[in-house]
Structure formats: structure tokens, C-alpha cells
Amino acid sequence: MSATAAAPDAGARPSAADAPTVGAQAFAGRIAFLAAATEVAGKARERLVARYGDVPPEQAAVIVALGGDGFMLETQHRFLGRNIPVYGMNCGSVGFLMNDYREEGLPERLAVAQAAVLHPLRMIATTADGRAEEALAINEVSLLRETRQAAKIRILVDGKERLPELICDGIIVATPAGSTAYNLSAHGPIIPLGAELLAMTPISAFRPRRWRGALLPNKAVVVFEILEPDKRPVAAVADYTEVRDVQRVEVREDRSISLTLLFDPDHHLSERIIAEQFTV
């Protein structure tokens, strides 16, 4: 779901000259700058720290993450459960979750930024030796075949069998924020923020050949049972946490944890998710 603050006129980009100064002082001297391990991001951090100062993330009113979408995910995972607002500036390649990089007027930009509140998926993966491993995913949980042979997976939703056998390279459960990532590459649907839905998308489904996936309520509990796990081993991945040789994987949204991303008013995540659907 998303929470939206007041925005200026549609299409107007706030600048240091015309942005409201009310609230800007709340961020001055209380910004933590984190940078990806690249030369571009590192130098950007040096310039911003020289201009605005820097505090430890635990003392910050906001974290400014400098990098690409991968670094934004790393930052969110690092501070899961603390709900410190994170404002990203693109120093990477894609930058779907990032704002444009500009050094001037940063406290004013933060003061008028809009918030997108997200909830991660919780994955509980049971391995072949009986271990239960948990991990959180902001984008998606994916099951992937480990060998040359396709996986065979049984799918249950809220305790009811929906597919007795899916033969595939894998399958994805994606959040709205993650629906434009791996899910979109696998031809899954894009989900607007606030739709309270999850996308379930197969990867190279062989049987049933015509099945293209499903949209599920965000309260759904999804269980994947691996068929023939010795012959057809499967790995489960929550964003970048991988568990190998799984036999059963449970996925559900964890609404006890909130993540807050900040965006410039004309660069909000909801708008970009909608615009992405009209990209040709």
C-alpha cells in the first residue's frame, strides 16, 4: 500500500528555489548518506557529506541511499524493522526505485517528498534435511530449478490445492514494488501500489503450457511443495537470500514490518508503476 503526502502542481519539479522551506530544517544535519561500492556513488557521497554533513543511520531522520535498485534493496534489508525513511538517488544503471541525482536543495526535496509504505514477503523454506529457514523479500520470492531437469511443483493457496503439478524452470511470488523486476521479465503482470495483490508468475512453464500465473490477495498464504526433490532439486530465493534443496516453501506478506521509501512528487513509485505499463 502507499501513503501519499501533499504534492505541488502536477508536473512541477520542486527545486531549492521554489520548494517550501517548512519541514526542511527537520532534515538538516540529520541525514545519513550511504553509498554503493562504486566509484561514482562513493564520490557522490563525499560531495554530499561535505555539503550537508553526515550522521550515523541510527541517529538519522532519513537515509539517502546512493546507487542503483540493488543497493536500495540492500539498504532496506539492512534496516528492516526500524522503518527509517530511505530516499534514493540514482548513481547506478536502472534506478527504478531511485530519484534523480541532484546535489542542490536536498533538505527541501526531502521536505516535500512523498512516501510509499511497503510490506515484505516472509519466506519459510523447509529443506531436504528438515531445516526451516526464514528470509524476507521486498521484491519477490522465487523458486528455481537447480539442475538441467525442470522442477515439478505442487501449489496450494490458503490450504487449497490450486495446481497439483506445475512443470517449469521456476515460479515467482512478487510484491507490487517487485512486480516490475524479475516478475516483469518473466512476463508477469505489473501491480499498482495499493492494489493489495501479489503476482504469482511461472518461469518457462512446460505443463500446464497455457497457465500464465495468477493474481492473489495480499493476505493469501502460498505453499509450494516440491515433487521429486531428489531427482529435480529446487532452490528458493527471497530477494538475494538463497536456500538450496527445498522441499516446501511457504510465502506470505508480513504486515508487521513496514518499509518507507521517499520519492520526489513527480517521480513517485505509483506513477512509475503505471507508466511502465505503457512503455513500448
**Any alpha helices (H) in 65-111, and if so which ranges?**
69-78, 106-111
Q: Are 161 and 224 in contact (CB under 8 A)?
A: no
Annotated binding site for NAD(+): 69-70, 139-140, 169, 177, 180-185
Q: Cα(first)–Cα(last) distance of the chain, in Å?
A: 27
- 69 counts as catalytic: yes
Starting at the edge strand that comes first in sequence, how are the strands of the sheet with 62-67 ordered? 31-35, 62-67, 86-90, 259-263, 114-118
Q: Are 220 and 112 in contact (CB under 8 A)?
A: no
Give the H/E segment covering residue 33. strand 31-35
C-alpha cell at 199: 503476482
Given the residues 9, 18, 54, 69, the one annotated as active site: 69
d(CA 83, CA 3): 14
Strands (DSSP E) found in 57-196: 62-67, 86-90, 114-118, 121-127, 132-137, 140-145, 151-157, 160-168, 170-174
Coil, helix or strand for 235? Answer: strand
d(CA 152, CA 141): 17
Active site residues: 69
